[in-house]
Structure 1
Amino acid sequence: MTRPAALAVAALILVLPLSAVSCSATQKALDCGNTAVKVGTDLNQLSSAYGNANNDPAAAGRAVANLKADLDKLGKNAGSTDVSKAVTDLQQQADKAQQAIDAKQVPDLGPMGDAAANLTKVCTG
């Protein structure tokens, strides 16, 4: 597994604990649960795309585009300021990954993993 793929998988693992958050207590929990499902799916697709980059180099770009689209929707619907900020931070990292992909470079997914971890912290902290 390549370093970017490993980092994407690590980011996914950091986000998955959000799915255990009870969604019945507060709007923040609802936001976080929805975020976990969407972002987890998108990060999984991104990880798969990097693992399969030799067969379909454009897949990573599509995966980042899906992640960005879902983050845009989630950011607009987030009821918590903290969740909105964490989503915005993750959006910025997705934008940087997209810029690297567009420039035919391998993006550094470490900061994306950090942003996903921050989202986890906001939702569970």
Structure 2
Amino acid sequence: MPSRRRRTARIFIATAAVALVTPLAIGCSAVDKALDCVQTADAIARSAAELQQAVESAADNPLEADKALDKIDKNLNEIGDKTDDADVGKAVDDLTQAVDNVRQAIKDGDPAPDISPVTRATGELTKACKP
């Protein structure tokens, strides 16, 4: 009988340990996702600042704005691939549309395209990424 009690106690302890550790692992996963999201949103914000500078000097170097837009697109693809959060997904979609609008304005010859929608959408993405 004592060995059966020990075995039952071991099974109980193992089950309890799994029950305690599982929420922690899931919680860490959510925190890791949020941290990835925030870091990528921060990279997008830096790219948006570069875009602002590039647009201001577009007459001198029009390719700089394209480079900044490409960086934002790359980061948007990265964050879009990593999330299944509806708010983050909407913010990514809105920012993608804003970037596309600026890119089109540059192609159409606008010497000073309005990038305020990019800045606004970047802020929304940052808010959506907060855990």
Fold-level match, TM-score > 0.5?
yes
Aligned to 2:54: 49
Q: 1:51 to 1:108 in 2, by over 3 A?
A: closer
State which structure, 1 or 2, has the greater radius of gyration over its C-alpha atoms: 2
Q: What TM-score do the two structures reach when normalised by structure 2? A: 0.65
Give the paired residue count.
103
Match of 2:98 among 93, 98, 103: 93
Structure 1 stretches (4+) deviating beyond 3 angstroms?
A: none
Aligned to 1:15: none
**Is 1:117 equivalent to 2:123 in the alignment?**
yes
Separation of aligned partners in 2, 1:63 and 1:98: 10
Is the helix fraction higher in 1 or 2? Answer: 2
Aligned to 1:107: 113
Q: Percent identity?
A: 37
Aligned to 2:8: none
Structure 2, unpaired ranges of 5+:
1-27
Equivalence map 1:16-55=2 (5 Å) = 26-55=31-60
Q: What TM-score do the two structures reach when normalised by structure 1? A: 0.68
1:71-119 deviations in Å (ceiling 9; x for gaps): 1221111242221221111011001110101111132112222212221
Structure 1, unpaired ranges of 5+:
1-22
After superposition, the CA RMSD in angstroms is 2.4
